[in-house]
C-alpha cells in the first residue's frame, strides 16, 4: 500500500534558528522550509518513508511565522490549502508553532465540513537543528498517523495534535508546558492514541469519518468580535460593563471559578443580564484545567443561567473561543445558543 501526504509548513520553533548565524545565543526566528527539510532524511528520496511507499509534497507559508503571530486570516489560509489539495492526498500534516497550535487545531475542526481524511498538527519544543530536539520524533509519528493505511492503522478522519508520543483530538487540547517535551494536555478527554514502541489507537474514542456521499468543504467565515474574560476576586461590575458595552462585542467567553461560579452580587448579574438581553452570547467555561461547568450545582450557577449565561460544559478555552467565532459567523441567531451547547466535533461532553 502507498500513501500521498501533503505537508504544510507554517513556521514555529521546529524550524527556527538564531537570527544571527554567528551568534548562537541570538533570538530565534523561523527559517525557510529548505533549512528544516535537510534534517529529515527519512522523507527524502531513498529515505525510510519513501521506501514504505509514502510520497510527501510540501508547501510553505511565504514567510514562516512564530505561532504567536497567528491570526484568523492564517487559519483561513491553512484551511484553503487543505481544501485545494484534499482530493489529491490521503492525509495532511500541518507543521505549526506550539503557542497557538491548540487554537488552530480547534478552529479547523469547525471550519472543515465532512472531513474524511486525517489532518495532523505537530511541531516541537526545540528546533530541529538542536542536538536534543523532539522534532524528529513528533514529525515521524505524525507521518504514521497521516499515512495510517501504510502501517496497517485505521484512518482517523479528525483534526489532531501529535506530540510527544501522544495523539490528541485537536479541539480537546491545550498547551500545558513551555519547556517539557510533553507540551500538550487533553484534560477532559483521553488521548486518541499513544505512540510508544507500538502504536495503540483507542478506536472507541475516534469519531466516525464523514459519509462518502457528503463532499468535503469549508465554512470559513469567522466573527472575531469576541472577548475572553477571566473572572477574579475584586473584578468590578463597572469594569465588566465597560467591556460588554462595546457595540462590536457579540460573544464573550467568561472563564468562571470551579464548576462555573462567579460573584452573585446584583450589580454583577445585572451587567451580564443586560448584555445577554441585547443579544451578546456569553459562554461560561471553567478556569480549572480539568472538569466541567455545571450551572445547576450551585445557587450562583442558577443565577448566571437566569442572567442568560450559557453553560460551556468541559470545553477548553481554545475550543470555546474558536467555536464562538465560528458559530457567530455561520449559524442563524435563533440557533446559536443551541449550537454552542451541542457537541459538533467532539469538543464537549455532558
List active site positions: 13
SS3 117: coil
Rounded to an integer, what distance in angstroms lies between the CA atom of residue 178 and that of residue 218?
Answer: 32
H-only helix segments in 231-298: 237-244, 266-277
Q: State which H helix or E strand residue 334 sits in.
A: helix 333-341
Contact 162, 145 (CB under 8 A): yes
How many CA atoms lie less than 13 Å away from 18 in the CB half-sphere? 8
The residue among 123, 134, 118 whose CA lies nearest residue 201 is 118
Terminal Cα distance for the chain, rounded: 40
Rounded to an integer, what distance in angstroms lies between the CA atom of residue 330 and that of residue 283?
Answer: 17
Rounded to an integer, what distance in angstroms lies between the CA atom of residue 312 and that of residue 14?
Answer: 33
Quickly tell me which residue has 462555573 as its cell: 260
Rounded to an integer, what distance in angstroms lies between the CA atom of residue 312 and that of residue 323?
Answer: 11
Sequence-distant (≥ 6) Cβ neighbours of residue 83 within 8 angstroms: 216, 217, 218
Quickly tell me which residue has 524528529 as its cell: 136
Rounded to an integer, what distance in angstroms lies between the CA atom of residue 301 and that of residue 263?
Answer: 10
Q: State which H helix or E strand residue 138 sits in.
A: helix 135-146
Amino acid at each position: 500500500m502507498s500513501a500521498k501526504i501533503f505537508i504544510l509548513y507554517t513556521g514555529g520553533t521546529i524550524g527556527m534558528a538564531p537570527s544571527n548565524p554567528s551568534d548562537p545565543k541570538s533570538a530565534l526566528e523561523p527559517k525557510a522550509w529548505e533549512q528544516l527539510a535537510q534534517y529529515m532524511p527519512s522523507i527524502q528520496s531513498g529515505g525510510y518513508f519513501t521506501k514504505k511507499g509514502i510520497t510527501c509534497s510540501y508547501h510553505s507559508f511565504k514567510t514562516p511565522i512564530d505561532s504567536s503571530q497567528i491570526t484568523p486570516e492564517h487559519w483561513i489560509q491553512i484551511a484553503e490549502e487543505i481544501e485545494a489539495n484534499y482530493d489529491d492526498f490521503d492525509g495532511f500534516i500541518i507543521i505549526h508553532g506550539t503557542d497557538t497550535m491548540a487554537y488552530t487545531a480547534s478552529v479547523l475542526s469547525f471550519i472543515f465540513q465532512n472531513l474524511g481524511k486525517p489532518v495532523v498538527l505537530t511541531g516541537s519544543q526545540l528546533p530541529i537543528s538542536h542536538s536534543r530536539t523532539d522534532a524528529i520524533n513528533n514529525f515521524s509519528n505524525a507521518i504514521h498517523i497521516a499515512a495510517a493505511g501504510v502501517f496497517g492503522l485505521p484512518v482517523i478522519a479528525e483534526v489532531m495534535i501529535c506530540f510527544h508520543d501522544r495523539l490528541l483530538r485537536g479541539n480537546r487540547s491545550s498547551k500545558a508546558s513551555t519547556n517539557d517535551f510533553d507540551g500538550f494536555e487533553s484534560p477532559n478527554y483521553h488521548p486518541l492514541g499513544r505512540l510508544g514502541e507500538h502504536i495503540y489507537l483507542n478506536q472507541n474514542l475516534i469519531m466516525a469519518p464523514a459519509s462518502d456521499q457528503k463532499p468535503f468543504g469549508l465554512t470559513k467565515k469567522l466573527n472575531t468580535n469576541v472577548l475572553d474574560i477571566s473572572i477574579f476576586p475584586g473584578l468590578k461590575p463597572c469594569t465588566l460593563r465597560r467591556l460588554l458595552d462595546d457595540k462590536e462585542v457579540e460573544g464573550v467567553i467568561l472563564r468562571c471559578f470551579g464548576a462555573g461560579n462567579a460573584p452573585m452580587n446584583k450589580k454583577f448579574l445585572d451587567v451580564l443580564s443586560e448584555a445577554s438581553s441585547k443579544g451578546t452570547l456569553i459562554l461560561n467555561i471553567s478556569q480549572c484545567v480539568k472538569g466541567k461547568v455545571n450551572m445547576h450545582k450551585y445557587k450562583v450557577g442558577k443565577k448566571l443561567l437566569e442572567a442568560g449565561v450559557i453553560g460551556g460544559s468541559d470545553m477548553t478555552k481554545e475550543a470555546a473561543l474558536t467555536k464562538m467565532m465560528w458559530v457567530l459567523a455561520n449559524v442563524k441567531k435563533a440557533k446559536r445558543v443551541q449550537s454552542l451547547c451541542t457537541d459538533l466535533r467532539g469538543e464537549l461532553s455532558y
